[in-house]
Structure 1
């Protein structure tokens, strides 16, 4: 047993092993306070089959862990000649099956060494580390305490083309630190004829506890089963999972004899498994496939998040697809300018909550003019603009089960645009060029509004570029102003179908469009003033709008 912290639990585990006929050799990290070490020895002094060895500093990634393991293994073989297998465990490795079950398993495989051992070319689980280079470069500096020196020295060796020579006959292998070896195999490793050279070589290998025994066992073992008897899982950052009390059901199904690592305060786990029968009476048949799927799902949840679970307190990174809000919602640009009663009509057609311009500069236009919306969202633009993404995420999260829609245009704050464009839950409908209608209705001359019209057209053009860009994941429909007024029923039916696909009826109560007589002349005045209104399309003249059967009308098929 290799111990460095929570020595009270280590004492409990050592006693459990010894009381079930398993001699134990304990090593305590030299960096652990002497008083804690003395307390551990005193707690186990009544057990004759427990030994303690000299203490080594076992810093992560260094040879000290291997050195302590070698000395402990030598002591085990020397003091207990009846031992047939030696298992390496830590002070937080919790037996999750009866010790007699482990003894029976080893007795059924008397010449098998259980150790994960794969070549560096086949390893795909190293995270943020080195595979082959850990054997060919030198690592005299601590990765945790001397990170800058560590990285600089690695870069220097790469630049100089430095490459260490491997000891003759050594083929580097990697695997879990937690193994169970037969007595003959372990004896052959300890008495290896080239042991001194091998030890010198591995003193400058990075993380040698994952490669020393894993490499040497290939030279001396008659039979290797490349797996560990210890359940040791790692997250996406390479850190080991810690098992808590609420993992009891999971550990009962684990296809392993030991679990690493148990939280020292997981009282239920220790009370359950450190019993004479190991709590196997009510345990189901081990299901390794299910365990692996659960851990794979845990990694996916941690990295990407649950589909749709995106809120103000959680920010999955964009690189891992963390751009999806909690529920579908609709974004409308240009419709309110064309249709005076668009918001109440849309609320009826979709049975949804339809807001005004949530990102207007003067105030947040919540549905019904409410000053405070669900979740305590204020209509203050200052609070909203502190973090627009969190504002919208909070709004969608707090109204799950009710479809939210809002207006968005070139006169709004545009910081939220990349977020909604990249959100698969967003449905964005745009009528381009409609921003000019309020300018026309203002009664001001084209000369007075030309600069503002040009600015708004530039803002809307940038938004359209986002919609057509590679980051776009939203469902998008775009019509020019001319296309919309030619046949307004088709776009309106499309947006209703997309946002409410379960509707059993077609849209019949189409809203009234804004009277645009005179708007064509206004656009011509803008052209005369030197501004090119290109986003409206080829807008018809007033005569064409007044025609009872305009030639530009598209046929509509009614079923």
Structure 2
């Protein structure tokens, strides 16, 4: 057992092994201090089949872990001649099946070494960019304590083309640190005539505890089963998953005999498995495939999360993909400006919650005028603008199951526009040039509103340019103002079909269109003042604006 912390759990585990007929040799990390050794010795002094090996410092990624394992294994073979197999464990490794079951399994395979051992060309789980290079470069500096020296020395060796010579006859292999070897194979490794050469070489290999025994076993073993009897899972950064009390049912389904890492305060797990006969419930048929699928799903969720959920424990990065919001939603630009009652009409037609301008400069315009929306979202513009992306994704997440729609325009805050363009859940419906209608209806002259009209046109043009970019993922439908007012029924039918394609009925009425007679003269006045209104399209003259009655639904053939 390799131990360095939680002496109470170490003593509990060692006693469990020892009282079930398994001699134990404990290596306590020298960095743990003498007080820890005294505590552990006092707790286990009544057990004659427990020994303590010579102590050395065990720092992650260094040869100290291999040195500690060699010392403990040497003492095990010397002090307990009846031992047939040696099982390497840590102070956080918990037996999850009866010890008797492990003993029977090893007795049925007396000549088999259970150790994960694959060549660097075949292994695909190394994390950190060093696979073959861990054997061909030198690593004299600690990765954890001297990161800059570590990285700098690696870069220097690469620049100089330095390459270590691998000892003749060795083919580097990698695998889990936790193995179970036969006495014969372990003795052959410890007494190999080339061991001094191998030790000198592996002292400058990176993370040698995952390669020393995994490589040398290929020199001496007659039968290798390349798998570990210990369940150990790692996340996408190469750090081990920790098992807690709520993993009890999961651990009962594994075909492994030991699991790591167990949280030292997981009292339920220790009470359940450290019983005289082990956990009886663990005798159900194991399902390791299910466990592997669960961990694969956990890694995926850790990387991508749940679509649309942004939280303090997992803030996703753009490069890891996934939808940006939790559900489809609609954005409408220009509709409020040209219809008198667009919001209530839309809410009734597609059965959605229709907000006003969520990104208005002064405050958030929630539907029905709420000051605080679901999830505690206030109508404060300052709070919203602190992180517009999180504001919108929180709103969509908090209302899953209900379609959300809101108004947008060049008079709103524009920081959210890159997010909108890149969100595949965004349905954007845009009438270009409609921003000029409220300016016309304000009663001010063209000369007075010309600077504002030019500013708004520039903002809307930038938004249109963003929506036309190749990497835009939002679903976008645009109409010029002239195109829309010519036949508003068809675009309205399209947006209803897009947002609610399974609606049981279609409304036969249209929202009331603003009377635009005189608007074309306003546009001409803007031109006369020196501004070129280009986003409105070829707007019809007053004579062409006689509003015909437009049926809402498309004509259909009835057989």
CA contact under 8 A between 2:356 and 2:406: conserved in structure 1?
yes
Q: 1:164: how far off?
A: 0.7
Q: How does 1:82-481 map to 2 (within 5 A)?
A: 82-281=82-281, 283-310=283-310, 314-321=314-321, 323-481=323-481
Q: CA RMSD in A?
A: 2.0
Does the CA contact (< 8 Å) of 1:56 and 1:68 recur in 2? yes
* Separation of aligned partners in 1, 2:138 and 2:127: 19
Give the distance between the partners of 2:87 and 2:549, measured in 1 at CA.
90
Q: Which deviates the most, 381-390 or 4-13?
A: 381-390
Q: Is the 8 A contact 2:428 2:477 kept in 1?
A: yes
**Whole-Å Cα distance in 1 between the matches of residues 306 and 32 of structure 2?**
41
Residues 281 and 355 of structure 1: CA distance in aligned 2, closer, same or farther (over 3 Å): closer
Is the 1:323–1:422 contact (alpha carbons within 8 Å) kept by the matching residues of 2? no
Q: What's the CA shift string for 1:11-31, capped at 9, x where partnerless?
A: 111111111111111100000
TM-score (norm 2): 0.96
In structure 1, list runs of 5 or more residues that go unmatched: none
The question of whether the paired residues in 1 share the 8 Å contact of 2:324 and 2:393 is answered with: no
Aligned to 2:21: 21
- Check conservation: 2:305, 2:316, Cα contact below 8 A: yes
For 1:547 and 1:69, how far apart are their aligned partners in 2? 89
| 1:105 Cα offset (Å) | 1.1
CA distance in 2, matches of 1:144, 1:87: 28
Kept in 2, the 8 Å contact 1:311–1:397? The answer is no
CA distance in 2, matches of 1:125, 1:374: 43
TM-score normalised over the length of structure 1: 0.96
Which structure 2 residue ranges, 5 or more long, are not aligned? none
Structure 1 residues 25 and 314, CA gap change in structure 2 (3 angstroms): closer
Contact conserved, 1:303 with 1:316, CA < 8 A, in 2?
A: yes
Aligned residues: 557
Change (3 A) 1:79 1:246: same
Cα distance per residue 1:191-228 (max 9 Å; x no partner): 11111111011111110000101111111111111111
SS of aligned partner of 2:331: strand
* Counterparts of 1:66 and 1:547, CA distance in 2: 87
Q: CA distance change for structure 1 residues 547 and 117 in 2, over 3 Å: closer, same or farther?
A: closer
Deviations 1:295-318 (A, max 9, x none): 001111111112343468752211
Q: Distance in 2 between matches of 1:434 and 1:220?
A: 81
Partners of 2:553 and 2:36 in 1: CA distance: 88
SS where residue 234 of structure 1 aligns? Answer: coil
Deviations, residues 136-179 of structure 1 (Å, cap 9, x unaligned): 11111110001111111111111111111111111111110001
* Rounded Cα–Cα distance in structure 2 between residues aligned with 1:264 and 1:11: 12
Q: For 2:84 and 2:102, how far apart are their aligned partners in 1?
A: 13
Matched-pair contact (CA < 8 Å) for 1:176–1:210: yes
SS in 2 for 1:145: coil
> What SS does the aligned partner of 1:454 have?
helix
Once residues 336 and 312 of structure 2 are traced to their aligned partners in structure 1, the CA distance between those partners, rounded to angstroms, is 29
Partner of 2:56: 56
What SS does the corresponding residue of 1:107 show, helix, strand or coil?
A: helix
1:557 corresponding residue in structure 2: 555
Distance 1:254 1:493 in 2: 55
Distance 1:282 1:167 in 2: 45
Distance, in Å, in 2 between the alignment partners of 1:368 and 1:480 is 30
User: For the residues of structure 2 that align with 1:217 and 1:536, how far apart are their CA atoms?
Assistant: 77
The SS at the match of 1:122 is coil
Provide the residue aligned with 1:72 in structure 2. 72
